[in-house]
Amino acid sequence: MSIDGGFFGPVGNTRIIETDTLQGETSDRRYSIHPADPPSACATMQQNMNPEGGNWKVRIRYFSTQSATKTDFHLLEKLQCWLGGELFHQIEREHIIPRNGA
């Protein structure tokens, strides 16, 4: 497992002086696998961004997971965006890709 501050490193919030914008970001990545079951491998990532400035505040949450079965790769992603505490955009996609012997 790895948790860090994302693009700006593990520093919490960063103020961009030129635009008087506050940027907070975290990134959580997890990898797992059972030694006796290689297809059980799974990778997940969650990123949170919280930019704000003046009279606006945004929150962005992105989550993805990658896993596999003996026959397919499975990808899932979710994106949610809030403005001032109100959810205004949301996407969820799932992809199943044949392994073709991989």
pLDDT tens-digit readout, 43-101:
999 999 999 998 899 999 999 999 998 889 999 999 999 999 899 999 999 999 998 87
Amino acid in position 23: Q
What is the residue extent of each domain of the chain?
Answer: 2-96
- Band of pLDDT at residue 1, cut at 50, 70 and 90: very low
What is the residue type of 87? L
3-37 pLDDT, tens digit each: 455 555 555 678 888 888 888 888 888 899 888 88
Residue type, 69: T
Cα–Cα distance, 13 to 75 (Å, whole number): 30
